[in-house]
Amino acid sequence: MSPFLLTRTLPEDATDAALRADVLHGLTHTPKTLPPKWFYDAHGSELFDQITELPEYYPTRAEREILIARAPEIAATTGARTLVELGSGSSEKTRHLLDALPGLHTYVPVDVSESALTQAGQALIAEHPGLGVHALIADFTGGLALPGTPGPRLVAFLGGTIGNLLPAERETFLASVRALLSPGDSLLLGTDLVKDESVLVAAYDDAAGVTAEFNKNVLHVVNRELGADFDPDAFAHVALWDDAHEWIEMRLRSLTDQTVKIPALDLAVEFADGEELRTEISAKFRENGVRGELATVGFELTHWWTDQEGRFALSLSTAGTSR
């Protein structure tokens, strides 16, 4: 059986330090914000898995449809010998690529969760004898160094997660990915597309209330990790479409005047009745915009595929010789 290697590039206490910094920064500014990465403790990850199966939530199904249809073309175009997946999680969708890449030498899943990396990596080695897996415990938004593996390399960033970054953050992130690659390496990027507002809002405010529970999970995380006394029932889930920026915002709206204490930060946070805490943006894209953002940092978009209903896109871009 091929080796499974696990490299930690995050200090053991990095998650706690990052949570403290994000909560202190986000809850002492106006408007108040918290980053969406803090949804995803074990319970939050279970809730998101439920969300992906909801009838209103189309992105996961649409992206899977494209991957199944286009994986052989992606493999033939890239000739990848190393596949790097950012935010790999369970690596479920990646299996469609792995099955289509007969010449693949190494799979490099990157995630902050050691347990997810270990479980997925060992399962993939069993399924793909001869495949090496070198997992990285890392925050891919904070700079990344890849192990020495053979090229060409294909970096996959799926799920539309790029939309959680603000435009300036996207440019910084895409530039950091470009810096990891050599000319001729490729980037496979998943982007959710602009569409009717009612379809978008429903995807983030489902009838069963699963997304509302998922949104409020960030409060449970802060309570557990920092000793805060948020009452999740004192906040309402809000999902709205910002037409000017072409993104969905998820917010938590305070249902009363209240004070939340966070002992670990020696912090008391005042919320006015009706005040909103932004927990996520999810930008939606158009082909020309994606092409332009990639070109800015030195990628050339060569392939653009959508699902049959035109809801979601996968794009394949090549790293150029210079920026």
Q: What is the pLDDT of residue 323?
A: 46
Instruction: Give the number of C-alpha atoms closer than 13 A to the C-alpha of residue 263, restricted to the C-beta side.
Output: 6
What residues does 280 pair with on adjacent strands? 250
Q: Cα–Cα distance between 145 and 246 in angstroms, integer?
A: 32
pTM of this structure: 0.93
Between 138 and 79, residue with greater pLDDT: 79
Q: pLDDT band at residue 96, thresholds of 50, 70 and 90? A: confident
Confidence (pLDDT) at 207: 97
pLDDT in tens, 187-217: 999 999 999 999 999 999 999 999 999 999 9
Q: How far apart are CA 127 and CA 198, in angstroms?
A: 41
**Taking residues 179-183, what's their average pLDDT?**
93
pLDDT at 241 over 50: yes
Task: Look over the chain and give the mean of its residue pLDDT values, rounded to a whole number.
Answer: 92
Is the predicted pLDDT of residue 88 greater than 90, yes or no? no
Strand partners, 5: 134
Tell me, what DSSP letter sits at residue 81?
S
User: Strand, helix or coil at 117?
Assistant: helix
Return the domain boundaries, the chain. 1-323
- Residue 2 pLDDT class (50, 70, 90 cuts): low
pLDDT for residue 147 is more than 90: no
Domain 1-323, classified CATH 1.10.357.10, yes or no:
no
Contact 268, 236 (CB under 8 A): no
322 band by pLDDT with thresholds 50, 70 and 90: low
DSSP state of 134: E
pLDDT tens digits for range 6-25: 888 777 777 888 899 999 99
Query: What are the Cα distances from residue 264, in Å, to 15, 37, 113, 126, 182?
Result: 15, 20, 23, 43, 44
Beta strands in the chain (DSSP E): 4-8, 82-86, 106-111, 132-137, 153-157, 186-192, 235-242, 247-254, 258-262, 267-271, 276-283, 299-306, 312-319
pLDDT tens sequence across 244-261: 999 999 999 999 999 999
Q: Does the pLDDT of residue 102 top 50, yes or no?
A: yes
- 32 contacts: CB under 8 Å, gap ≥ 6: 26, 269, 271, 275, 276, 277, 278
Q: Is-contact 89 66, C-beta < 8 A?
A: no
**What does the pLDDT average to over 214-233?**
96
What count of other Cβ atoms lies within 10 Å of the Cβ of residue 210?
18
